[in-house]
Amino acid sequence: MKRTTCAIALSVTLVTIGSTAFCSAQQPLASSPAERPQLKSIYSSSFDVAQLVRDDTRALAFVFLGTECPVAQQYIPKLNELQDRFRDRGVRFFAVYSDPSVEVHDMAVHAHDQDIALPAFKDVDQRLAEWLEATITPEVVLLTSDLKKVYQGAIDDQFEQRGRKAAARKQYLRDAIDDVLAGRIVKLPFARASGCLIERRKPEQKPADGVTYHRDIAPIIAQHCQACHRDGGPGPFELLTYDDVSMNSEKIREAIVDRRMPPWHGDLNPKFGKIRNDKRLPDKDRDLFVAWIDAGAPEGEASSVASQRRDSTGKESEWEIGAVDYVYRMPKPFRVPKHGVLDYQFFRVPLGLEEDRWFEAVEIKPGSADVVHHITLHVVPESKGKIDGLMAMAQLYGVNGNLGHLINDYVPGDSYNAKVYPRGQGVRIPKHSDLIFEVHYTPNNVREVDDQSMVAFRWAQELPQEEVLTEVFRKPIGRFRVPPHHPHYRVEDTYYFAHDVLIDAVRPHFHLRGKSFRLEIVERDPDTDEVMRVTPVLSVPLFDPNWQRTYELETPLNLPAGMELRAVGHFDNSDINPNNPNPDTEVSWGQQTTDEMFSTRFKYRLDRAGAASDGGTR
């Protein structure tokens, strides 16, 4: 796309002789919402440009980036620095991806892997690039709060076509922002950007070629969707029939193109193998599904629908782990009110064990899934005492005495809710122990609901050779505070195990402002303590509080005693985060979802040289 004639004529003058003239012929912003630029965030939420202007906004900086442009990569640290410099002065920075081949998921992965602190947006149909006449990555356009263009072009003069300086001498963007904040006319409103052209051609779409629901799509739905999208499942609607799927086809299309569904968010470094139970939709199935929807969602012959449809009864008597030996329930139903915010609830269940007991399979089920946010199951020494409130959290999680041992969880959609351990492995419940159900309830705002959640065990028939242990490392009370409106607040924690261990599964945990997570192995020089090597293990580019996965490793991670594990988390306390209940407040540790947590849970075994289950240390 060409610039306006005026902009073309001025571009040479501005670069060669530094003229302060600037073409003011900015294209008007379309009045129809359907024709205005649409920006889609990493959360798949759509924004109009005007929505990005807050009451305190003085300028908007749109930085056009690409996932493969080496020049754009070089500028990421400087862009992060500029955002930090001006964030509290009313300047909002945004990373914009206009390349039509870059989908929302690709953008989220790139922003995470490159540690881009700017909120990232996909430029749907390239309308923002067209309106602002952007053609290069990295190119920045600076607008005032009333959306008037005052600067366009390079970030600085370090990179020029076919050339690079050791350091920048001219700070074009920084100086333009300083002028705006000082109420001055921007001295240099244009400086030619160097980098990579923004692609304008969309990838060719292959024709559907006779794709039908019953022959091609129903098997995909049965395998990847119906476990949740059924009566009683966590999905918001059923996907059991042709009518169910066809009537929701546009919602499905967006969800699978953005890779929000099926929900899966973790990537394991291939050096460490693969993740077990990977729920991602294969590319071939994704492309086939999209082609079917684009072809008008033809139904086809229904002869094989019965064999492809997954059972949707969800009967309580059926357990995913198969045969069970014993089911323990909460002592009595708990009444969840129609509205309100509840503290975590704790329910003690006596076991009456006179000797240690080992189980080889466990499954936790909510009594009423529509009000149970999650359940954590602990084993504690038997007692008649009540366990409740903040003190219960302190005791159970080791802040004050490590009273309990966590043995399993229920989190909607997590395959680890029902776990059968490999032969020779098991979990020990010490004699004279009780179970503690720690339950987080969220009223459904429809009606009062009684819940009596439960857990089923299948006991080990012989003494397991290996004990499966659980360790939760967490940032305790007061160790972090997320500032208001911060889009990319970084928190780190460091973990060590006292023995050589085999890590089988990892689960990161945040609340509503959690954005991304990365687990790394850090190797240091033993003499200087300097970091010599950082090896990524698990990456979660986009954390979803509604789908908190346990990532099981097909090949256990062998971690020597004392080796440093570093967890890096980012919080998004901005108004871009659709889960954020209040971007105006500082957020710290707390039990409620409106507070925050940052923890990492490990399922692990001691190696054969390990002699005791001492767990981990900080």
All domains of the chain in start order, with CATH:
5-197 (3.40.30.10), 213-308 (no CATH), 316-467 (2.60.120.230), 473-618 (2.60.120.230)
Q: What is the mean pLDDT of residues 238-261?
A: 92
Report which of 552, 310, 517, 311 is spatially closest to residue 417, judged by C-alpha positions.
552
Q: State what percent of residues in the chain have pLDDT above 70.
A: 87
Q: Which residue has the higher pLDDT, 90 or 17?
A: 90
- The residue to which tokens 């969840």 are assigned: 336
Cβ atoms of 410 and 417 closer than 8 Å: yes
- Which pTM does this prediction carry? 0.85
Average pLDDT over every residue of 336-364: 93
Given a cut of 60, whether residue 6 has pLDDT beyond it is no
- For 344, phi then psi, to 5°, come to -60, 140
Strands (E), 483-563: 489-497, 501-509, 514-524, 531-540, 551-559
Quick: pLDDT tens for 304-316: 444 444 444 434 4
Of 221, 230, 228, which is closest to residue 256 (Cα–Cα)? 221
Our CA angle for 537, 541, 542, nearest 5°, is 135
Q: For position 537, what pLDDT does the model report? A: 97
pLDDT surpasses 80 at 21:
no
Q: Confidence band (pLDDT; 50, 70, 90) for 1?
A: very low
Q: What is the pLDDT of residue 12?
A: 31
Both tokens of 348, joined, read 């003690």
Q: Which residue has the higher pLDDT, 451 or 25?
A: 451
Average pLDDT score over residue span 454-476: 91
Show the DSSP H helices in 49-113 as ranges: 70-74, 76-86, 104-113
Q: Is residue 373 scored above 90 in pLDDT? A: no
Q: 121 has which bridge partners?
A: 41, 96
Q: How confident is the model at residue 609 (pLDDT cuts 50, 70, 90)?
A: low
Phi, psi (degrees; rounded to nearest 5) at 294: -65, -25
Residue 109 neighbours by CB under 8 Å, 6+ apart:
267, 541
**What is the pLDDT, as a whole number, of residue 617?**
52
CA distances, 349 to each of 93, 329, 530, 585 (Å)? 52, 8, 49, 38
Residue 151 confidence (pLDDT): 97
Q: Averaged over 580-593, what is the pLDDT?
A: 89
Q: What is the pLDDT of residue 406?
A: 87
SS (H, E, C) 253-280: HHHHHCCCCCCCCCEECHHHCCEECCCC
Q: What pLDDT sits at residue 442?
A: 87
The mean per-residue pLDDT over the stretch 94-110 comes to 95
| pLDDT over 60 at 171, yes or no | yes
Q: What is the pLDDT of residues 285-334, one digit of tens each?
A: 999 999 999 999 999 888 644 444 444 443 445 899 999 999 999 999 99
How high is the pLDDT of residue 117?
96
pLDDT at residue 413 tops 90: no
What is the structure's pLDDT at 398? 54
Angstrom distance (rounded) from CA 272 to CA 281: 22
* pLDDT over 70 at 129, yes or no: yes
Residue pLDDT, tens place only, 504-560? 999 999 999 999 999 999 999 989 999 999 999 999 999 998 888 899 999 999 999
CB distance 186 to 179 below 8 Å? yes
pLDDT number for residue 100: 92
What's the distance, CA 33 to chain centroid? 29
What crossing angle do the helices spanning 172-181 and 76-86 adopt, rounded to 10°?
Answer: 10
The two tokens of residue 409 are: 């969880």
pLDDT value of residue 401? 42
Output phi, psi for 552, to 5 deg.
-90, 135
Instruction: Provide the 3-class DSSP secondary structure of residue 394.
Output: helix
Number of neighbouring beta carbons within 10 Å of residue 193:
22
Residue-wise pLDDT tens digits, 388-404: 665 666 566 554 445 67
Q: How far is CA 45 from CA 37, 42, 577, in A?
A: 14, 7, 9
Which residues make beta-bridge pairs with 601?
472, 507
> Does position 482 have pLDDT exceeding 50, yes or no?
yes
Contacts of 235 (CB under 8 A, 6+ apart): 225, 228, 229
Q: Which residues contact 183 (CB under 8 A, 6 or more apart)?
A: none
pLDDT at res. 344: 85
pLDDT, average across residues 372-383: 90
Mean pLDDT of the chain, nearest integer: 87
Ramachandran angles phi, psi of 374, nearest 5°: -165, 165
Torsion sign, CA atoms 196, 200, 201, 202: positive
Answer whether residue 431 shows pLDDT above 50. Answer: yes
Lowest mean pLDDT among 17-31, 50-64, 501-515: 17-31
Q: Residues 218, 241: contact at Cβ < 8 Å?
A: no
Kindly indicate the confidence band of residue 203, based on its pLDDT and cuts at 50, 70 and 90: low
Buried b (16+ CB within 10 A) or exposed e, 540-577: bbbbbeebbbbbbbeebbebeeebebbbbbbbbbbbbb
